[in-house]
Amino acid sequence: MLRKKRAIISIIATVLIVSALVGYIAYANATSYVGTVEGERITRAEFMYFLEQVKMEMEKEADITSPEDREAFWNVKIDGVDAKELAKQNALEKSKQLKIQLIKAKEAGRFLNDRDYLEINAEIDRALADVSWFLNIMNQKDATRKEAEKEFKRLYGYSVKQYQAIIENLKLAHKFALSQEETITATREEVEEHYLENSNYFDTVTVTQILLYKNNIDSEGWQPMSEEELEQLEEKAKEILQRIKDGEDMIELAREYSDEDENIIEDINMAKPMENKIRDWAMDARVGQLEIIDTEKAFYIIRTDKRTSLDDVYERVESVVISNKYNELVEEWAKDPRYDIEINNFALDRIKVLDD
């Protein structure tokens, strides 16, 4: 009798375990994708990848500068839509457009080659190297690849294997886009118009500058100047500015007075990491303009000497115009009901835009 009871208990336990396992598998499958486009699944990992992109774009557009700004931003409505919901909508649209391009790439017979896979593997290695570096700093020891992969998943919400699948899809979509862009042309007028509206994003401005730092250096390192010292430094900057206006050689004066003699002549563009105030002034200034710019760290006596023209950057501008035309083509494809998303709300509703 006892043996029979044990057998029954064992059977019940087995059934419960199997039921739990089946339930887990069903749940995992139901939450593994957020929607489909013509039968192609938008995986949860793909959606999370684009959601992170969208969040960064929205925060940059809103000029978020503090944790308080960030919290406030994500609790407002944008054009009547909750900011977090808008982020999800935008991520879904990016995911949809990727799927459309993948569908069309396969229809066109596009595929990845050995070189593509080498580049993808190199990208995976770079991503893991960054995570390993972080772990090494935190733990004061070299992280194993397994530890790096575990931390990668914790940071991004998807595994390295899932990330590789995302990169493969992006690579194939990019190859297809390039093949389509080869068939698209841009007229001189279109290129000129885009350049005139966005020249600061293409041009490089060459400046001559004299830096007068607002710090003193002593045995304890850099020390901020007193108010009196700052006033004297500003007067010094004004005197140097007047000497340049009176015809003295600015480069010679820079060699004599600048606290940075390695960057007397510098090329500046929108991509260059530097003080925003200096970059913005240089990109908006006319050639030959000479001013004192007062920044947090220094007084800059700065002059624009030359600026690139459309002819210098024509190919770059033309490439952007063509790329924009391709993006408009993708947006047109997305309007086709054939590519409407069948949303898996069960999975989508369980994804949080912000971590708790």
Q: Is the pLDDT of residue 24 over 90?
A: no
Alpha-carbon torsion, ordered 184, 186, 187, 193, to 10 deg = 150
Q: Is the pLDDT of residue 10 over 70?
A: no
330 located within any domain: no
Mean pLDDT of 18-30: 47
- The DSSP output letter for 225 is P
251 located within any domain: yes
First to last CA, the chain: 53
Confidence category of residue 7, pLDDT binned at 50, 70, 90: low
What pLDDT, on a 0 to 100 scale, did the predictor assign at position 27? 43
Give the structural domain span for 13: 1-30
Q: Is the pLDDT of residue 175 over 80?
A: yes
pLDDT digits (tens, 9 = 90+) for 301-332: 999 999 999 999 999 999 999 999 999 999 99
What pLDDT, on a 0 to 100 scale, did the predictor assign at position 14? 53
Confidence category of residue 81, pLDDT binned at 50, 70, 90: very high
Q: Are 303 and 208 in contact (CB under 8 A)?
A: yes
What pLDDT, on a 0 to 100 scale, did the predictor assign at position 17? 46
228 located within any domain: yes
Q: Is the pLDDT of residue 23 over 80?
A: no
- Amino acid letter, 82: D
What sign has the CA pseudo-torsion 255, 258, 263, 265? Answer: negative
With a threshold of 0.85, does the pTM exceed it? no
Q: Report the number of distinct structural domains present in the chain.
A: 2
268, 292, 307 - which closes a domain? 307
Q: Is the pLDDT of residue 222 over 70?
A: yes
Q: Is the pLDDT of residue 105 over 90?
A: yes
Distance CA 263, CA 286 (A): 20
Confidence category of residue 190, pLDDT binned at 50, 70, 90: very high
pLDDT digits (tens, 9 = 90+) for 61-75: 998 888 899 999 999
Q: Are 147 and 194 in contact (CB under 8 A)?
A: no
| Mean of the per-residue pLDDT values of the chain | 90
What pLDDT, on a 0 to 100 scale, did the predictor assign at position 134? 87
Distance CA 24, CA 44 (A): 16
What pLDDT, on a 0 to 100 scale, did the predictor assign at position 233? 95
Task: Please name the residues in contact with 58: beta carbons below 8 A apart, sequence gap of 6 or more.
Answer: 73, 83, 86, 87, 90
218 located within any domain: yes
Q: Are 98 and 169 in contact (CB under 8 A)?
A: yes
- List the CATH number of the domain containing 226: 3.10.50.40
20 located within any domain: yes
- The DSSP output letter for 264 is S
- Amino acid letter, 265: I
323 located within any domain: no
Distance CA 58, CA 65 (A): 13
Distance CA 332, CA 316 (A): 25
Confidence category of residue 95, pLDDT binned at 50, 70, 90: very high
What pLDDT, on a 0 to 100 scale, did the predictor assign at position 28? 53
Task: Please name the residues in contact with 208: beta carbons below 8 A apart, sequence gap of 6 or more.
Answer: 250, 251, 254, 264, 265, 302, 303, 305
